[in-house]
Amino acid sequence: MVDTRVTLSGLMLDNPVIPASGTFGFGYEFADIYDIDILGSISLKGTTKEPRFGNPTPRIAECREGLINSVGLQNPGVHAVISEELPKLAKCFHKKAIANVSGFSIDDYVYAAALLDKEDQIGLLEINISCPNVHHGGMAFGTDPQNAAAVTRAVKEVCQKPVYIKLTPNVTDIVAVAAACAEAGADGLSLINTLLGMRIDLKTRRPVIANTMGGFSGRAIQPVALRMVYQVYGLGLPIMGMGGVSTAEDVIEMMLAGATAVQVGAENLVIPTACKDIIENLPAVMARYGITRLADIIGGAHHG
């Protein structure tokens, strides 16, 4: 019998598999497909202070081993999330969820985070300073260590629950940004968000995405994500690793690099049962590699 449980800043998860924000809606949308209570947790759709329609269409472009999106944080705003979306989720998901918060100023982050922190359904907060799909926000904070630290410090001042900072890979030195967040009081880290990419339509000779560029995700980015998780593990903070994860083997590899929990993103858009399939396959893959307890392998690649 294998043990798939992990503990994330005091939050016990039945398994480390978490659908990534933006790829699983507010969770209840998938409840008709399978029992979402099997998930370790759910990172909810990115939430901002005010409602957002998002970016102009087209927003999605397919590419080899992945896709590019420029949705632009479309969401109903934090008040509607609390009054409408969380009650719907509570009917079909009976575990703590992860609130994903985005903003265009430090005040925006603080406002939404403080409200979501008070919700009993929320187990921890994931602060997205890494979105490449919006102007004057998101990645503007995540590419500069000082700005990243400022957001972290401000959110920590108004939150009682663990605060994880979601990092962008679109930087020269991921460790410098991660270290700044750690020093500012972050309880954990989430990485990586999407890389910046684009596609061009050969017929029109114009960018496929209306916003020209967008976030590149999917299986192709897994080696980059793995490398960055490995690099920041030494800071000593728990990590939610993500980027290109599509199999149970990928989950184990990400945990060996240093992740305590593993988020599955673009694969949910290709295969709606991706998380369910990974969770069901985990015990057999663990047995194949002689793993009896998943928590024991976290950061294993650092120890020889």
| Structural domain boundaries in the chain | 6-54+72-198+216-302
Tell me what percent of the chain is helix, strand and coil, each rounded to the nearest 5.
Answer: 35, 20, 45
Closest CA to 21 of 37, 39, 44: 44
pTM higher than the cut 0.75: yes
What digits encode the pLDDT tens for the residues 126-167?
999 976 555 555 557 888 999 999 999 999 999 999 999 999
How far apart (Å, rounded) are the C-alpha atoms in residues 186 and 183?
7
What digits encode the pLDDT tens for the residues 25-51?
999 999 999 999 999 999 999 999 999
Residue 132 burial by Cβ neighbours in a 10 Å radius (0-12, 13-18, 19+): buried
Question: What is the band of 121 on the pLDDT scale with cuts at 50, 70, 90?
Answer: very high
What's the mean per-residue pLDDT of the chain? 95
What digits encode the pLDDT tens for the residues 182-197?
999 999 999 999 999 9
In the block, tokens 């939050």 appear at 11
Per-residue pLDDT, 137 = 54
DSSP state of 81: I
Active-site residue set:
131
Return the structure tokens found at 188.
Answer: 């954990």
Please check whether the domain covering 6-54+72-198+216-302 is classified as CATH 3.20.20.70. yes
Phi-psi region of 98 (alpha: psi -120 to 50; beta: other; left: phi over 0): beta
How far apart (Å, rounded) are the C-alpha atoms in residues 224 and 214?
17
